[in-house]
């Protein structure tokens, strides 16, 4: 059981995860931001590794990825930075990004590197489920790395059941099929979607991401799932003055 599993098993209050892009705003800011996120009270975090063509991301995260790449960030540098991760951070940490850099790095090497630095899970939205199951699953299992799958409002029940059977962490519910950075839609349609997932009684916990930007949207997500993931709003916040010192202020605006 890794840190992520222990968190979901033992903490009953709504969980808050924070996403940020490695190498943004500065190449060497990754661990400083990660440490500040934990000290501010987040339950776990997702560190994005940048990619040149982040199709699912809105302009805020696209911009942060482009800036991180310009700063020189890549997976090799990120894993070098993360060698000091567990000296400074104790909460669960996931890596999130696109499959192309992972394939270039080597999937087995990627999983081995994650385990070596203390990463608990990964989110690679464009890694096909069939390829994961056929070629890569054992690399994740052998390293106790949770592979987190995404579900959209259009995902069929059959596919969701399949995802649930393959998962060993949580299932990431996209609040909509749009790109990141859109506000969580509080509507009858969204209510029906979240209720449908909840009534499936999945064995894995669920978290809502895309569009969580304030206390209202966080509380809405927590009505249906174990909590929510904040991404674009936090990345945007990092571009403000003295952001590193003010991270507790941001976290308190989401979950007092």
pTM: 0.94
Number of structural domains (the chain) is: 1
Report the alpha-carbon distance of residue 221 to residue 191 in Å, rounded. 10
Give the model's pLDDT for residue 222: 93
When pLDDT is cut at 50, 70 and 90, the band that residue 182 belongs to is: very low
Residue among 35, 43, 57, 120 flagged as catalytic: 57
Q: What percent of the chain has pLDDT over 90?
A: 84
CB 8 within 8 A of CB 218: no
Report the alpha-carbon distance of residue 97 to residue 180 in Å, rounded. 13
171 forms beta bridges with: 206
- Please enumerate in sequence order all residues whose Cβ is within 8 A of that of 188, keeping only pairs 6 or more positions apart, or say none: none
208 forms beta bridges with: 173, 228
Token output for 151: 């579900």
The DSSP output letter for 3 is H
When pLDDT is cut at 50, 70 and 90, the band that residue 143 belongs to is: very high
Residue 169 covered by a domain: yes
Residue among 35, 46, 157, 214 flagged as catalytic: 46
Residue 164 covered by a domain: yes
CATH number at residue 190: 3.20.20.70
What mean pLDDT comes out for the span 143-171? 96
| 30-40 vs 247-254: helix crossing angle, rounded to 10 | 50
* 90 CB neighbour count, 10 Å cutoff: 12
Segments forming the whole domain that contains residue 55 = 16-245
Residue 122 covered by a domain: yes
Residue 149 covered by a domain: yes
Q: Residue 62 pLDDT more than 80?
A: yes
CB 19 within 8 A of CB 231: yes
Residue 75 covered by a domain: yes
Q: Which residues of 17-32 are buried (b: 16+ CB within 10 A; e: fewer)?
A: bbbbbbbbbebebbbe
Asked whether the CA dihedral 105, 107, 109, 114 is positive or negative, the reply is: positive
Residue 150 covered by a domain: yes
Give the model's pLDDT for residue 80: 98
Residue 256 covered by a domain: no
Q: What angle is formed at CA 36 by the lines to CA 30 and CA 41, rounded to 5 degrees?
A: 130
Q: Judge whether 57 counts as a catalytic residue.
A: yes
In whole angstroms, how far apart are CA 133 and each of 15, 149, 163, 172? Answer: 28, 12, 10, 18
Q: How many CA atoms lie within 13 A of 167 on its CB side?
A: 23
Residue 6 covered by a domain: no
């Amino acid at each position: 059981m890794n840190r992520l599993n222990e968190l979901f098993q033992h903490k009953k209050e709504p969980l808050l995860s924070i996403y940020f892009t490695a190498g943004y705003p500065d190449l060497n800011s990754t661990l400083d931001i990660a440490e500040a996120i934990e000290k501010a009270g987040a339950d776990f975090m997702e560190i994005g590794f940048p990619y040149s063509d982040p199709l699912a991301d809105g302009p805020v995260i696209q911009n942060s990825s482009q800036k991180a790449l310009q700063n020189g960030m890549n997976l090799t540098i990120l894993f070098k930075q993360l060698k000091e991760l567990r000296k400074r951070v104790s909460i669960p940490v996931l890596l999130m990004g696109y499959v192309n850099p992972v394939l270039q790095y080597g999937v087995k090497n990627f999983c081995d590197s994650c385990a070596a630095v203390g990463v608990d899970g990964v989110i690679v939205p464009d890694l096909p489920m069939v390829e994961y199951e056929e070629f890569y699953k054992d690399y994740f299992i052998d390293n106790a790395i949770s592979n987190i799958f995404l579900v959209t409002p259009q995902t069929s029940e059959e596919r969701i059941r399949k995802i649930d059977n393959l998962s060993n962490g949580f299932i990431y519910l996209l609040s909509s099929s749009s790109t990141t950075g859109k506000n969580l839609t509080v509507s009858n349609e969204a209510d029906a979607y979240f209720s449908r997932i909840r009534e499936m009684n999945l064995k894995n916990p669920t978290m809502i991401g895309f569009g969580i930007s304030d206390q209202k949207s966080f509380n809405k997500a927590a009505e249906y799932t174990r909590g929510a993931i904040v991404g674009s709003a936090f990345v945007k916040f990092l571009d403000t003055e003295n952001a590193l010192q003010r991270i507790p202020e941001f976290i308190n605006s989401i979950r007092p």
